[in-house]
Amino acid sequence: MAIQNEMYKYCLLTLSLLSLNAFRQAKNDSLLSGKLYAQQELKLALNDQNQHNIIDNKRIVIKDSLTAIGVAQPILFRIYGKDQITK
């Protein structure tokens, strides 16, 4: 009985290690393909300025400095922290 328990433990350990290794490889492959996709999208965006342009450049979306500050502040405060910006 003790030998069967030991064999069971070794089999379970081996399967666990194989599963973790397979997961790691799948994760790396998806990260690599994501990086390649991002590089391709960046090239497209830099080559074609009109691609995915939702705003038609005929309307002014942010009409004054107060609106610009209202849009930028929450973003910048979240990234850099309010204390860093208001020093």
Predicted local distance difference test score (pLDDT) of residue 66: 92
Amino acid identity for residue 56 in this structure: D
| Cα 87 from Cα 65, distance rounded (Å) | 20
Has residue 67 got a pLDDT over 80? Answer: yes
Percent of the chain whose pLDDT exceeds 70: 71
Percent of the chain whose pLDDT exceeds 90: 9
Listed by start position, the domains of the chain span: 1-53, 55-87
36-62 pLDDT per residue, tens: 888 887 887 777 666 555 666 677 778
| Cα 27 from Cα 20, distance rounded (Å) | 10
Radius of gyration of the chain (CA): 26
Confidence grade of residue 27 (pLDDT, cut at 50, 70, 90): low
| Cα 39 from Cα 49, distance rounded (Å) | 16
Cβ atoms 39, 30 nearer than 8 A: no
| Cα 16 from Cα 10, distance rounded (Å) | 10
Sign of the dihedral through C-alpha 7, 11, 12, 13: positive
Q: What pTM was computed for the model?
A: 0.34
Has residue 26 got a pLDDT over 60? Answer: no
